[in-house]
């Protein structure tokens, strides 16, 4: 059986991800950032709607995570707090559908490119690999 | 406004278990304002239902729509635009909307996606509280504008029960005793003597105890 490579979608705000896109993402690749994690930049994570996060699962994501500013240091004051609430709403909905709520997660990270940004991606990759393919893909049964 | 809350997803999935195509119908009235059944909530529930059914290995087609209101004949007529596209309507409006669809569309299967909770307002962002019970015979002029029908656990009309303690209701220490609020407020607005006025035994027919109610305005009927 071939190794399961999860499809992971990361939604990051402009501030936490701005350095990652510099140099055509070369630094990102060298840093050990998993290639199966796709980055989706938004101006502020507070702009992310619950429906956007659910669509990511509809489009086949096995895991989703959001990276916003530290709770009390958001560039847009409460943007990352709002995002955390919406992530929690999706976690609750996943639970209602008997799907592991851990498939979606919120990270609050300092701005710019630093090891924690890569560590978050690696952590999600490891976690979702352990969980296996998302049941929403209808492949589990 | 009317406050509603989405039903658990499992309950909704169970209602639509026999359907292949569902018209998920939001309402731009009260349920949009209380974030239970407007366009945004339609989008979210549509995703959840599709995901839930995909997980079961029986995908469902969801047609999304939102009407200006679901409590007026002329807007319900707008349902015709989706004719032939669904097996059932799943309404995110309050119970009035679901009833209106059932009244006006004899052959249409309709299900409720929300629990219609009460008449209330937004106390703070994300919190709604009951304020009026639609009793049909308002007495707020006697109670300083605070409603004992809706806000007293026993709908008492002549002051607090013996369980009122430290301004809290005996049913729950987190709930204000509305009669304490009424007492304090009447004092503040120099109408404390109103507390002494005995409210007569009420005829609850106007509150629905005499069967379904209606309001008729002859001047509006041509
Ligand atoms: S007295 Fe009746 S109509 Fe007036 S606020 Fe209370 S429930 Fe509503
Ligand atoms: S404690 Fe106050 S609000 Fe509660 S039931 Fe008694 S009178 Fe009503």
Domain ranges of chain A: 9-128
Position with higher pLDDT, A79 vs B28:
B28
CA dist., res. B54 & res. B48, Å (int): 10
Q: What is the DSSP string of A99-127?
A: S-GGGEEEEE--SSS-HHHHHHHHHHHHH
- The answer to whether residue A125 scores a pLDDT higher than 60 is yes
pLDDT for the residue A1 = 58
Q: What residues are paired with B4 via a beta bridge?
A: B116
Nearest residue to A44 (alpha-carbon basis) of A84, A9, A75, A90: A75
pLDDT (mean) for A126-132: 98
Let me know if domain B2-118 sits in CATH 3.40.50.1010.
Answer: no
Helix, strand, coil distribution of chain B in percent, nearest 5: 35, 25, 40
Residue A18 clears pLDDT 80, i.e. is over it:
no
- Mutation pick for ligand 1 pocket among B1, B130, B131, B134 (CB with most ligand atoms within 8 Å): B134
Q: Dihedral through CA B105, CA B108, CA B113, CA B114, nearest 10?
A: 20
State which residue of chain B sits closest to A58, comparing Cα positions.
B51
What is the structure's pLDDT at B60?
A: 98
Residue whose structure tokens are 């119970």 = B95
Whole-number pLDDT of residue A141: 43
Indicate whether A22 pLDDT > 70: no
Nearest to A130 by CA among A3, A38, A2, A1: A3
Task: Name the closest ligand to CA B206.
Answer: 1
Q: In chain B, what are the domain boundaries?
A: 2-118, 133-200
Question: What's residue B82's pLDDT?
Answer: 98
- The residue that leads in pLDDT, A74 or B211, is B211
pLDDT at A26: 76
A26 close to B (CB below 8 A): no
Q: Do A141 and B44 touch (CB under 8 A)?
A: no
Query: Does A111 have pLDDT greater than 90?
Result: no
Low-confidence spans in chain B with pLDDT less than 50: none
Contact present, B6 and B36 (Cβ < 8 Å)? yes
Range of weakest confidence among A70-79, A87-96, B34-43, B67-76: A70-79
Query: B147 CB less than 6 Å from ligand 1?
Result: yes
| Best residue of A87, A93, A94 to probe chain B, by most B CBs closer than 10 Å | A93
Interface check B154 vs A, CB under 8 A: no
Q: Which ligand is nearest to the CA of B120?
A: 1
Query: pTM (2 decimals)?
Result: 0.93
From the alpha carbon of B159, which atom of ligand 2 is closest? 7
CATH code of the region A9-128: 3.40.50
pLDDT digits (tens, 9 = 90+) for A31-65: 899 999 999 999 999 999 999 999 999 999 999 99
> How many Å apart are CA A40 and CA A8, to the nearest integer?
11
Q: How many CA atoms lie within 13 A of B58 on its CB side?
A: 9
Q: For residue B87, how many other CB atoms are within 10 A of its CB?
A: 15
Q: For B106-135, what is each residue's pLDDT tens digit?
A: 999 999 999 999 999 999 999 999 999 999
Q: Report the distance separating Cα A90 and Cα B45, nearest Å.
A: 11
- Which residues of chain A does B48 touch, with a Cβ-Cβ cutoff of 8 Å? 54, 93, 96-97
Nearest to B145 by CA among B159, B131, B134: B131
Cα→Cα distances B162→B43, B170, B171, B195, Å: 48, 9, 12, 16
**Nearest to A65, CA basis, from A104, A37, A26:** A104
Q: Strands (DSSP E) along A23-79, which ranges?
A: 37-42, 63-68
Contact A93 B9 (CB under 8 A): yes
Cβ A138–B57 below 8 Å, yes or no? yes
The percent of residues above 90 in pLDDT, for chain B, comes to: 100
What is the side-by-side strand order in the sheet with B21-27? B61-67, B21-27, B88-91, B110-112
């Amino acid at each position: 059986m071939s190794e399961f490579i999860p499809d992971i979608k990361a939604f990051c705000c402009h501030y936490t991800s701005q350095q990652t896109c510099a140099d055509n993402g070369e630094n990102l690749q060298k840093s050990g950032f998993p290639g199966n994690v796709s980055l989706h930049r938004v101006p502020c994570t507070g702009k992310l709607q619950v429906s956007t996060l659910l669509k990511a699962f509809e489009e086949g994501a096995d895991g989703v995570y959001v990276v916003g500013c530290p709770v009390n240091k958001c560039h847009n004051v409460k943007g990352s707090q709002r995002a955390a609430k919406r992530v929690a709403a999706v976690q609750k909905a996943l639970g209602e559908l008997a799907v592991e709520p851990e498939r979606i997660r919120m990270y609050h990270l300092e701005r710019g490119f630093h090891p924690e940004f890569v560590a978050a991606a690696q952590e999600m990759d490891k976690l979702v690999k352990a969980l296996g393919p998302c049941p929403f893909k209808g492949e589990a049964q | 406004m009317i406050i509603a809350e989405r039903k658990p997803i499992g309950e909704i999935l169970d209602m639509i278990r026999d359907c292949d195509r569902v018209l998920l119908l939001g309402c731009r009235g009260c349920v949009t304002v209380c974030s239970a059944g407007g366009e945004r909530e339609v989008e979210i529930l549509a995703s959840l239902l599709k995901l839930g059914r995909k997980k079961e290995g029986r995908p469902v087609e969801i047609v999304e729509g939102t009407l200006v209101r679901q409590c007026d004949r002329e807007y319900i007529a707008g349902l015709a635009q989706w004719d032939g596209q669904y097996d059932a309507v799943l309404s995110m409006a309050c119970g009035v909307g679901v009833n209106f669809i059932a009244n006006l569309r004899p052959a249409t299967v309709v299900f409720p996606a929300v629990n219609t909770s009460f008449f209330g307002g937004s106390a703070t962002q994300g919190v709604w509280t009951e304020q009026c019970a639609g009793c049909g015979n308002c007495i707020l002029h006697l109670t300083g504008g605070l409603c004992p029908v809706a806000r007293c656990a026993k709908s008492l009309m002549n002051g607090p029960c013996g369980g009122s303690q430290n301004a809290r209701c005996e049913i729950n220490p987190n709930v204000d005793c509305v009669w304490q609020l009424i007492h304090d407020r009447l004092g503040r607005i120099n109408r404390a003597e109103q507390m002494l006025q005995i409210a007569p035994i009420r005829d609850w027919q106007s509150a629905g105890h005499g069967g379904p109610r209606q309001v008729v305005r002859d001047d509006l009927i041509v």
